[in-house]
Amino acid sequence: MQKYIIIIIIIIIKLIPKMWRKMKIIPLPKKASGDKNVKFRPIAITSPFLKTMEKLLLLPLQPAIKEHTDPYQFAYRRKRSTLDAVAVLHHNIVFNLEKGKKYVRCAFLDYTSAFDSIPGQRLINKLISVNT
């Protein structure tokens, strides 16, 4: 518990030290295409202290997150990839065709920017209500 005392104090006073919040943004070019307008994606190099605090805060939340996460969600999950999604799709297609079905329904959805349009406090309130 002693090793968490700084993080507990930070949470209570709701103030992350300014040095911890500093980050270096490095623009990395997206995969090359024939387009002359090269697009970039930002990568943020953050403080090791902030990364540690984020990981420590995430630990107690993980069971609740796992309980409410669809097993067929592959993005933003540890040890999951697009190859896993393709393997599951392939398995379901083969399984259903072997059962005599003529077609198989499937859908791939990308919610990458979905949370950008939700007010932060509303999202937090929803997460709190789900966990109670």
Residues 90 and 30 in one domain: no
Q: Where are the beta strands (DSSP E) in the chain?
A: 23-29, 40-46
pLDDT band at residue 83 using 50, 70 and 90 as cut-offs: very high
Provide the residue range defining the domain that includes 12.
1-68
DSSP at 32: P
What is the tally of structural domains in the chain? 2
Q: Two tokens at 84?
A: 């896993």
- Look up the pTM and report it: 0.49
> Are 104 and 96 contacting, i.e. CB atoms less than 8 angstroms apart?
yes
Q: What is the pLDDT of residue 13?
A: 83
Q: What is the pLDDT of residues 33-56, one digit of tens each?
A: 566 667 888 898 998 888 888 888
Residue count of the chain, please give it: 132
pLDDT at 110 over 70: yes
Q: 17 lies in a domain?
A: yes
Residues 86 and 58 in one domain: no
Q: 123 lies in a domain?
A: no
